[in-house]
Amino acid sequence: MDKLLSPDYLDLTYRADLDLLVGRWMRNPALAEMQQGYNLMLNAATTCGCMRWLIDARRRDHTNQNGIPWMMEVFYPQLASRLQGRVHLAFLLAPVHLQALEADTSLLPLSYFDTLPYQIGRFLEEQAAITWLDSHCPMRKGEMVRL
């Protein structure tokens, strides 16, 4: 496990044994912090060649609705070109936030991402998120899990 340089509001780790980038929000970021944090994740994933991300947003007190246009119009479109392939992002959310997202009819359904070069999943439990990542985006061939 390699801890990566990150600000106090984001714990960023690359798990080479799982070929997994893990970003854990430590608190609710301001919009500029959110953008900086996701850009740090993208830079780290580019350096590692990592296509599997686990983003833990359970400590945030809400999803940053103001950040959705930036994520959709600026951030997500960069993923495939920077990482040269399909990226899978598993978001861990608190139950109340997942319910709010699922009830928000202004948000695109997850199926919208099925044909895009990035796929998104939303989860309550870390193991379910990792299982989803394993089934949709297995580790690169030739890599072995180190015990």
The pTM assigned to this predicted structure is: 0.88
Average pLDDT over residues 57-68: 79
Average pLDDT over residues 37-58: 95
d(Cα 106, Cα 7) in Å, to the nearest integer? 31
Is 133 in contact with 90 (CB distance < 8 Å)?
yes
pLDDT band at 144; cut points 50, 70, 90: very low
Q: From residue 36, give the alpha-carbon distance in Å to each of 27, 43, 71, 118.
A: 14, 10, 12, 20
Residue 56 has pLDDT above 80, yes or no: yes
pLDDT tens digits for range 7-24: 999 999 999 999 999 999
